[in-house]
A and B are shown apart, each in its own frame.
Chain A
């Protein structure tokens, strides 16, 4: 598909109106606040606020959610720098450099660089997304059921292979999620499965309530068990933008990490935390002063922050062009698209090309809005971290329940939310990753429906799965990524525990 410049300009015009800009500002502000509060992740923020967009037109509601997504990615760095707690998992690498800097009295410099790096990464991500997704989608127009099946399998293999500490538990989460996704009408013959005779289960578990439960309510149960006041460093936040010297010093890392972040984001299943850690490691390896890393090196901060924000642009590429989410947040966004009556994927470019370009435009504008709001509110956001958990946590519970109820006005959804909240809490406690479930809920039906469609075409002959080159490549990649992760699991575990140790040392100091 050719890139349509005039439509691009027109879309900027559509987005650059007071109404949409205002919505983006609201989204960014909410995102920064959510991101800066430890325990509230970007996934949770978007899930919690999706219900607020039910009644709005598509452009407004998607712009707001994109704003929350980008804002939260930056917001995570605020608490990482000031209270040595990453506001979102993606900001874990930021703690390693940001907090030592703040302790040295350079909180202002660190915050300014975090904001600028987030902005820089975000712009790169949005740019690459704007030009890459139409290409990918025109490529994907050729895709048939076999390719989509292979794509879903590839996505699942990536999620499992990066699911952290225990590969086995990641596998269990993924298969459990896939089983949940098979609840309801079977996609081809319409036979109701695992519904226990309940009408509400016929369409499968309701998506939004399920993920509000998994990501928001579970955190409520987690949060009420903690006590203690949050201690904040007394910081002199006198700087809005990094100095020219700092930018020049980090420029190489900013560029490289933004590109790495975007590409990792574009791999279905890999999200901002992985992007940040990989670019941080890369920056450490290529730095002239690797020994300074871990003691407040601004290069490390710049690379982790630019990577996690670039990742959001990258994650939008497979979402828009293939209908496959790049990470957990875009999985939630996929739900929001569907509520708006839009099915992401190559057909979106045929049927709603206007909205696609408007999303490109609003993603780009969101980065600039983030820069301005971040500069203007830097002192305010630093105070938000200290908000009283005894008020916030119960309020999140109420908001979760209300949001779950609002979509269908159905009490069943409220129970679903609570049940998944309990499930999510128990799973988190025992180290079962939650993101595989979320992605399995989307990739599961895609894999099954397309596999069976392929089987209808071939009249039950499984060799059709190996008849298409792209599909074979994708399935090969899936096997490779699984094999690598099984082989490299020990290495990954060693690296993880090494990073955790580094992290703990940084926290203790």
Chain B
């Protein structure tokens, strides 16, 4: 946890510093003395203070708890990264491709990643789940989903 805490603290300091730096560009209020930058300045400052304490504690060997380091050879880590990539692709193609194809492909792929191999299962289940979600949102609740390539048919 020591290294993780130092990184976490450094990240906190960066965010805090960014907030304060952005704050310098905001207009000053003459009447109230405190303008739009007042709150972010305080928050950024306090975030920096606590991040610094976290780093100091870590350096003094006072980090709490344990965390398993990531190993690329680990199957779980691999699945996590694949999911992340699949999630990003899902977001990118959702609008142009449309909800129904994106969702079916994503679900099939993810079920395969998570160890399902039965062809019937990984073909039929995603279609059923997608259809159910689509029916509920589009037909029952009349909330529109991206139609994408199927725009002319739906």
Taking Cβ atoms with an 8 Å cutoff, the residues of A that contact B are: 51-52, 54-56, 165-166, 168-169, 171-172, 175-176, 178-179, 182, 186, 188-189, 191, 193-194, 217, 220-221, 224-227, 389-391, 393-395, 397-399, 401-402, 405-406, 409, 411, 414-415, 418, 421-422, 429-432, 447-448, 451-452, 455-456, 459-460, 493
Q: Is the CB of A390 within 8 A of B116?
A: yes
Q: Is the CB of A395 within 8 A of B44?
A: no
Contacting residues, chain B, for A391 (C-beta < 8 A): 111, 116, 125, 129
A448 and chain B: residue at smallest CB distance: B39
B67 is an interface residue with CB less than 8 A from chain A: yes
Q: How far is the CA of A78 from the CA of B67 in the complex (A)?
A: 29
Q: Is the CB of B36 within 8 A of A409?
A: no
Q: Is the CB of B113 within 8 A of A224?
A: yes
Partner of A193, one of B36, B90, B111: B36
Partner of B94, one of A51, A186, A411, A432: A411
B59 is an interface residue with CB less than 8 A from chain A: no
Q: Is the CB of B26 within 8 A of A176?
A: no
Instruction: Tell me the smallest distance from the CB of A393 to a CB of chain B, in Å.
Output: 7
Q: Is the CB of A225 within 8 A of B36?
A: no
Q: With A55-B141, A401-B91, A460-B34 in contact, do A394 and B80 touch (Cβ < 8 Å)?
A: no
Contacting residues, chain B, for A398 (C-beta < 8 A): 103, 106-107, 129-130, 133
Q: Is the CB of A431 within 8 A of B64?
A: yes
B107 and chain A: residue at smallest CB distance: A394
Grouping DSSP codes into helix (H, G, I), strand (E, B) and loop, the B interface class, with mixed when no group exceeds half, is helix
Partner of A224, one of B12, B22, B79, B107: B79
Q: How far is the CA of A172 from the CA of B35 in the complex (A)?
A: 24
Instruction: Tell me the smallest distance from the CB of A166 to a CB of chain B, in Å.
Output: 6
Partner of B32, one of A194, A393, A431, A455: A455
Q: How far is the CA of A168 from the CA of B51 in the complex (A)?
A: 8
Instruction: Tell me the smallest distance from the CB of A247 to a CB of chain B, in Å.
Output: 40
Q: Is the CB of A402 within 8 A of B137?
A: yes
Q: How large is the interface on B (under 10, 10 to 19, 20 to 34, 35 or more residues)?
A: 35 or more
Instruction: Tell me the smallest distance from the CB of B98 to a CB of chain A, in Å.
Output: 12
CB contacts between A and B, total, < 8 Å:
182
Q: Is the CB of B133 within 8 A of A405?
A: no
Grouping DSSP codes into helix (H, G, I), strand (E, B) and loop, the A interface class, with mixed when no group exceeds half, is helix
Partner of B43, one of A179, A225, A414: A179
Contacts beyond the supplied A55-B141, A221-B84: 13 A-B pairs with Cβ under 8 Å: A168-B54, A175-B46, A175-B50, A188-B32, A193-B36, A193-B40, A194-B40, A221-B83, A224-B113, A397-B106, A398-B129, A398-B130, A455-B34
Instruction: Tell me the smallest distance from the CB of B19 to a CB of chain A, in Å.
Output: 5
Quick one: which of B40-90 are within 8 Å of A by CB? 40, 43-44, 46-47, 50-51, 53-54, 57, 64-65, 67, 75-77, 79-80, 83-84, 87-88, 90
Q: Which residue, of A51, A389, A394, A455, has the highest number of chain B Cβ atoms within 10 A?
A: A394
Partner of B31, one of A393, A402, A432, A460: A460
Q: How far is the CA of A189 from the CA of B4 in the complex (A)?
A: 39
Instruction: Tell me the smallest distance from the CB of B76 to a CB of chain A, in Å.
Output: 4
Instruction: Tell me the smallest distance from the CB of A210 to a CB of chain B, in Å.
Output: 15
A395 and chain B: residue at smallest CB distance: B129
Contacting residues, chain A, for B144 (C-beta < 8 A): 406, 409
Identify the 7 closest CB pairs spanning chains A and B, nearest first: A394-B110, A225-B76, A390-B114, A186-B36, A460-B33, A175-B47, A406-B143
B101 is an interface residue with CB less than 8 A from chain A: no
Contacting residues, chain A, for B103 (C-beta < 8 A): 398, 402
Q: Is the CB of B36 within 8 A of A191?
A: yes
A169 and chain B: residue at smallest CB distance: B54
Q: Which residue, of A194, A393, A397, A402, has the highest number of chain B Cβ atoms within 10 A?
A: A402
Contacting residues, chain B, for A56 (C-beta < 8 A): 141
Contacting residues, chain A, for B129 (C-beta < 8 A): 391, 395, 398
22 A-B pairs within 8 Å (CB atoms) are namely A55-B141, A166-B64, A172-B54, A175-B43, A179-B15, A179-B44, A182-B40, A182-B43, A193-B22, A193-B40, A224-B76, A225-B77, A390-B111, A394-B111, A397-B106, A402-B103, A406-B141, A414-B91, A421-B87, A430-B67, A431-B67, A455-B33
Q: How far is the CA of A315 from the CA of B65 in the complex (A)?
A: 30
Instruction: Tell me the smallest distance from the CB of B8 to a CB of chain A, in Å.
Output: 6
Q: With A179-B19, A409-B144, A421-B87 in contact, do A397 and B110 touch (Cβ < 8 Å)?
A: yes
Q: How far is the CA of A432 from the CA of B7 in the complex (A)?
A: 13
Contacting residues, chain A, for B67 (C-beta < 8 A): 429-431
